Structure 1
Amino acid sequence: MAPSMDDKVTSPLKVTMAKVALEAGVSRATASRVFYGSTPVAEHTRRAVYEAAERLGYVPNTMARSLAARSSDILGLLLRAPDNPAYGLLFAELQAHVSAAGLQMVTVAPSRHEGAHFERQALNRLLGLRVGGMFVSTGVIRAEMLEPFLDLVPVVVVGRPESHPDIHSVSYDEDYNAGLLVDAVVAAGHRGAAVVVPDHSVSEHRRGVAMVRGLTERGVKVYEVSSPTFGSREEGAREIVELRREERITAAMFPSDWRLLAFLPHAQEAGLKVPDDLSLTGFDGILPGIDLMGFTTVRIPVEDAARRAVEVMRAQLDERTPPRHELLPGTLVRGRTLAQAPTAR
């Protein structure tokens, strides 16, 4: 026998707040205060409303609330490639601190193959959701692309260097962090090194340029390896192998651990032993299993960046203040992929 209408489960999206209030024996206004926290509600009342919502499968309509309000406690996050461990950890930390601050966050994450055009569209979508503020955590979109949004909502750039005078930022000190790796490579006696310098990522480009500059200032012969293709991690691998075969380099430096990891199969195929034939360094220090792989890298302070970014955003929601650019130093991780140069042994 077919189920009766009474037996059918009502879609959570069709359960209204009025129904929840009726089920809990309170007014609709009281139920609204429970869900949206506008004024204090007695604990027994709060519990009754939540229990009624659970029985009915009610989903609070946060979108309707933000449309009705002049401001919103819903924040937007534009996140680059959450499958990248560094961005994935940043997302998790931001979400935790946003929740602890009594706010909410909606995230838009273009794939790692989508460029600046897609990220600009994502920013427009976040504004369409009437978010009260936006975190921007991507090394692809440039500061000038953020300018149209600055008068609309507070914008905090997280995890990448930013010098725009009207944009708040909490980022990793890429120049300092690159210097840590340069010091380690020079101390190991390397006099010829390849450095991968991507074009499309603000953070990775800054890291590569800083490593090239630091090595050059220390008298090391530097071979800059370009990576112009967006989303490519292996680009430049053949050039690095050829430079080693020609005995021009004894070390290669990558602006991310993922790029170092992508190079390893090429080194193996070429018969190069790491670090006996070629020393390698990465960047980020977040990659799962990195301690087992023994990468020499810099651990960036993702947790601190997320905490500070939410503190800055919270302050901006209360009162717009002049922008600040905060730089957070990382920590050198001495692994097994960097050894004394063959000529220095």
Structure 2
Amino acid sequence: MINPVIRPRRLRTTPALRRLASETRVHPAELVLPMFVREGTDSTPISSMPGVVQHSINGARRAVAEAAAAGIGGVMLFGVPAVRDATGTGATDPDGILNAATRALVAEVGDALVVQTDLCLDEFTDHGHCGVLAADGHVDNDATLLRYNEMALAQAEAGSALLGLSGMMDGQVASVRAALDAAGHADTAVLAYSAKYASAYYGPFREAVQSTLVGDRRTYQLDPANRREGVREARIDIDEGADVVMVKPAGSYLDVLAEVAAMSEVPVWAYQVSGEYAMIEAAAAQGWIDRRRAIEESVLSIRRAGADAILTYWAVELAAWLTETDAR
């Protein structure tokens, strides 16, 4: 009879031992809730993301108060304007939906959590691209940087504490940082969506922001085949002054996330995107997986790979589960 001396199972025998030996934990303060805010007085469900809505500003006030009470770390706001144009002028209008919502939510919760804003033109342009188009139809990187600088100032003046640069333009971090500092917003933090891949997992998000995109964004978002390029982008953003760098999507890019986390001296975040959310919700609705366990495991795996914080549409619900577990 074999009698093993080394028995790793000893540390798995009881819930108390498993809890004590756990290597990775998720805390509510490490979760950020992405939120969509639309013009108008009604909130609108997003069909491809069950349980997620486009909020009115008043609805967003209630949602952010609930998020603060749940103890999560922050909310990331995306605007859904009623009118769009070629250069996304609504993005820099002080009374535009994103800037107005930012002021309202900062007034609602103060410093109870971090109110963050997406800094990208795709929600505001009639062509759906993340930048300004040149005459031949390609995205003009340097002309786009000028718009990003204007957006950064508008968002900082609206009260955003952290700007999420998600457009994947070369030099965007250095450009925005310089613009903020020159305008007296040296304390406004910059989150760089450094390794943002041209992913199929963004599909439901396109519905959420009512995207008008025709074609794709492969000339500026990363090729899913490239790991080293994602790490390089993160390193460039750190050198340009990013306060936080991010990998997006999360679940299919855990190798990139782990490598970025290993080399980064600034916090590393990850975005569990709309498609990741939709797949678990759809499978759970069919009874094919245990919804709660799948959500918990998916977020835990992102944390285990090295994310210091995670953007997830389950942030508030998951925070309640974590608090419930800790109270036992």
TM range (shorter): under 0.3
Tell me the TM-score normalised to structure 1 length.
0.25
TM-score by length of 2: 0.26
